[in-house]
């Protein structure tokens, strides 16, 4: 008689027991199932500049296919430092203060792993991008959620101040903001500077939509405020800027002492980022026009989408649409459904996919507001608008 035990997969205790499949994956799958216009997940449905592809191809042909230096190719770090100085008048050392990362998500996780110790608290502002809180948990920290002002999504500094304790290690901010598409003002950045100045709290400033600020406004990078820059990891993304989200190449700018700790973690969770993309991006960045023209490019798409919804029963939220490539709308005149159920109905019955704003809140706060992404071809936007106007 065979008494050998059957093969068994050992049980484990999850590091992220509350985490399941992201809403973006769920809604994109539902959109594909029903042939819906996907205005949910935040990625373009158009190609990047062929010159960028040519630059990467040339880099591969020239033999740039082996490991690059751990912090990133020097030419690309130089280009990033030059761009920040030109736009924000703050000088970073390309050698000791700029690191190339495998996208912004890896950059944020790496920063948190570098600075957060078990039991440390990290303030996040709800609604927030869905990687922040799991990243904090993986670092052994405790996320402290502070709500942005409902409706306007402005920071409430009284509430932020009240959330600060002796265990607060860092605060994560995001401007232009995903999901609300609001943009922090210079005055708000100064208020944050004043609040943090007497503390040792570090700042992670998620600025991946830095080149998507509209109506003549300027992006207020943490680099523009010396007190913030001195304590900040400033995160950006070539994928968002140059319509190549699948390349997963980002940057982190931080003071040398913070960068040294960041790189200790970076070298063991990624080590390096693919070489030919870095070489190609360094070449492409020599001409600033592509990112300087980006506000006009996306504002035209925003305006097309917003005009298309005029006269419909979907109400544009005031302040939403000032930056990024998202637009939030209130659907309370259309339906009594909650946000998640409305998005399911919208995809199945109307043929347009959106994202419920409640997915970005820790407590699922429901305002009957959904987020659309207009980083799409004009014909995609027009097809979605036509369907939405029938509601």
Q: What's 112's domain CATH number?
A: 3.40.640.10
Q: What is the pLDDT of residue 309?
A: 96
Residues 225 and 111 in one domain: yes
Residues 249 and 297 in one domain: no
Q: What is the pLDDT of residue 21?
A: 79
Confidence band for 18, pLDDT divided at 50, 70 and 90: confident
Span 310-323, average pLDDT: 91
Which of 24-38, 214-228, 333-347 is least confident? 24-38
Domain at 320, CATH number: 3.90.1150.10
Q: What is the pLDDT of residue 23?
A: 83
Residues 188 and 315 in one domain: no
Q: Express as a percent the part of the chain with pLDDT over 90.
A: 93
Q: What is the pLDDT of residue 22?
A: 82
Q: What is the pTM of this model?
A: 0.96
**Does residue 320 register a pLDDT over 90?**
no
Residue 252: beta bridge partners? Answer: 99, 235
Q: What is the pLDDT of residue 5?
A: 82
Residues 217 and 279 in one domain: yes
Residues 97 and 163 in one domain: yes
Residues 179 and 315 in one domain: no
**Does residue 1 register a pLDDT over 60?**
no
Among 267, 287, 307, the domain-final residue is: 287
Residues 173 and 222 in one domain: yes
Q: What is the pLDDT of residue 2?
A: 60
Residue-wise pLDDT for 274-313, tens only, equals 999 999 999 999 999 999 999 999 999 999 999 999 989 9
Q: Domain for residue 15, yes or no?
A: no
Residue-wise pLDDT for 379-388, tens only, equals 999 999 999 9
CA nearest 255: which of 36, 100, 90?
A: 90
Q: Domain for residue 11, yes or no?
A: no
Cα gap 183→25, rounded to integer Å: 26
Quick check: 223 and 253 in contact, CB under 8 A?
Answer: yes
Q: Domain for residue 139, yes or no?
A: yes
Q: Which domain holds residue 378?
A: 23-45+293-388
Q: Classify burial at 188, counting beta carbons within 10 Å of its beta carbon; exposed 0-12, middle 13-18, buried 19 or more.
A: middle
Q: Domain for residue 14, yes or no?
A: no
Find tokens 């736009």 and name the residue. Answer: 87
Among 269, 287, 305, the domain-final residue is: 287
Number of domains in the chain: 2
Among 268, 287, 306, the domain-final residue is: 287
Span 138-166, average pLDDT: 97
Q: Domain for residue 54, yes or no?
A: yes
Residues 364 and 231 in one domain: no
Q: What is the pLDDT of residue 4?
A: 72
**How confident is the prediction for the chain on average, in pLDDT?**
96
Q: Domain for residue 1, yes or no?
A: no
Residue-wise pLDDT for 57-91, tens only, equals 999 999 999 999 999 999 999 999 999 999 999 99
Q: Domain for residue 338, yes or no?
A: yes
Q: Domain for residue 6, yes or no?
A: no
Residues 278 and 366 in one domain: no
**Does residue 256 register a pLDDT over 80?**
yes
Residues 199 and 233 in one domain: yes
Residues 318 and 229 in one domain: no
Q: What is the pLDDT of residue 3?
A: 62
**Does residue 34 register a pLDDT over 60?**
yes
Span 3-30, average pLDDT: 87
Residues 256 and 110 in one domain: yes
């Amino acid at each position: 008689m065979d008494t050998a035990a059957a093969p068994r997969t050992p049980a484990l205790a999850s590091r992220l027991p509350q985490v399941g499949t992201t809403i973006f994956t769920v809604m994109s799958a539902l959109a594909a199932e029903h042939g819906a216009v996907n205005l949910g997940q935040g990625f373009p449905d158009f190609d990047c500049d062929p010159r960028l592809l040519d630059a990467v191809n040339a880099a591969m042909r020239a033999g740039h296919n082996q490991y690059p230096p751990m912090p990133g190719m020097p030419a690309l770090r130089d280009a990033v430092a030059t761009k920040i100085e030109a736009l924000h008048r703050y000088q970073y050392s390309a050698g000791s203060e700029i690191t190339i990362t495998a996208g912004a998500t890896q950059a944020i996780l790496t920063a948190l792993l570098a600075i957060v110790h078990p039991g440390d608290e990290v303030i996040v502002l709800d609604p927030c991008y869905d990687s922040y809180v799991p990243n904090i948990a993986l670092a052994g920290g405790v996320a402290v959620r502070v709500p942005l002002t409902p409706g306007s999504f402005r920071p409430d500094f009284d509430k932020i101040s009240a959330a600060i304790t002796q265990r607060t290690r860092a605060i994560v901010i995001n401007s232009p903001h995903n999901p609300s598409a609001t943009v922090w003002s210079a005055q708000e950045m100064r208020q944050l500077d004043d609040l943090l100045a007497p503390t040792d709290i570090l700042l992670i400033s998620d600025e991946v939509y830095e080149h998507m600020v509209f109506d003549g406004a300027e992006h207020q990078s943490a680099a523009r405020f010396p007190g913030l820059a001195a304590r900040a990891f400033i995160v950006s993304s070539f994928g968002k800027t140059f319509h190549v989200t699948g390349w997963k190449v980002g940057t982190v700018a931080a003071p040398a002492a913070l960068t040294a700790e960041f790189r200790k973690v970076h070298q063991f969770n990624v080590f390096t980022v693919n070489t030919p993309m870095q070489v190609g991006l360094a070449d492409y960045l020599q001409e600033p026009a592509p990112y300087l023209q980006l506000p006009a490019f996306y504002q035209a798409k925003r305006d097309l989408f917003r005009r298309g919804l005029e006269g419909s029963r979907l109400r544009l939220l005031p302040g939403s649409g000032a930056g990024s490539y998202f637009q939030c709308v209130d659907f309370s005149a259309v339906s009594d459904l909650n946000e998640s159920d409305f998005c399911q109905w919208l995809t199945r019955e109307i043929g347009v996919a959106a994202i419920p704003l409640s997915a970005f809140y820790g407590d699922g706060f429901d305002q009957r507001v959904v987020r659309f992404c207009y980083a799409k071809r004009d014909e995609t936007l027009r097809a979605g608008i036509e369907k939405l106007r029938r509601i």
